[in-house]
């Protein structure tokens, strides 16, 4: 049985959790960096590293407003990110069905 390869950008525990968390929000909604960090219990540096990889692939978008301590960063899953997660889930199902 032929199975699609798993998207390497999503196929990493932390990035999989980031994408799955953001995908539960309705399309167009954004989540603050700090709330995402609280939910995933990742260090800021670790979360930034994974967000950059996802952003480079076009799967998430980040937006900064304000400066310094009053500044706020929000993160959202893009349409491409939502599609990539759907395809990843399908590919995962295909692999598991074949086991």
Partner 1 sequence: MNAEPSTSNSATADDGGELDPTAAAAILAQATRQAKAEFDPSPPWRLVVIAFVVLLAYGSLWLSVRGQHPYSGPTAWGLVVTFALIAVLIAVSASSARRATTGITGPSVRQRRTVAAAIITVFIAVYVFAGALKHLGVDPAIVSGVYPAVGLLIIGGAAGAGLAAAKEEWLDLGTALAIMLAGAICAFAGPVGVWLAAGISLFVIVCARAAVLAWRRRA
Determine, following the binding rule CB under 8 A, whether residue 13 of this chain makes contact with partner 1: yes
Tokens 């959202």 locate to 76
Binding-residue pattern over the window 23 to 52 for partner 1, x denoting contact by CB under 8 A: xxxx-xxxxxxxxxx-x---xxxxxxxx-x
Distance CA 70, CA 66 (A): 6
Distance CA 90, CA 62 (A): 26
Q: How far is the CB of 27 from partner 1 (least distance, A)?
A: 8
Q: Applying CB under 8 A, which of residues 1, 2, 5, 68 lies at the interface with partner 1?
A: 68
> Could you tell me the sign of the dihedral formed by the alpha carbons of 86, 25, 80, 14, in that order?
negative
Q: Which of 8, 56, 58, 80 binds partner 1 (CB under 8 A)?
A: 8
**Tokens 């989540």, residue?**
31
Closest among 5, 45, 6, 27 to 81, alpha carbons compared: 27
Near partner 1 by CB under 8 A: residue from 4, 56, 86, 89: 89
The residues of the shown chain that bind partner 1, judged by CB under 8 A, are 6, 8, 11-17, 20-21, 23-26, 28-37, 39, 43-50, 52, 64, 66-69, 71-74, 76, 89, 92, 95-96, 99
């Amino acid at each position: 049985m032929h199975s699609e390869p798993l998207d390497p950008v999503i196929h990493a525990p932390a990035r999989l959790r980031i994408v799955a968390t953001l995908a539960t929000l309705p399309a167009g909604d954004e989540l603050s960096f700090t709330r995402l960090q609280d939910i995933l219990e990742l260090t800021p540096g670790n979360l930034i590293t994974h967000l950059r990889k996802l952003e480079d692939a076009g799967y998430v978008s980040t937006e900064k407003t304000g400066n310094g301590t009053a500044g706020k960063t929000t993160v959202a899953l893009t349409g491409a990110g939502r599609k990539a997660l759907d395809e990843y889930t399908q590919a995962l199902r295909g692999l598991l069905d074949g086991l």
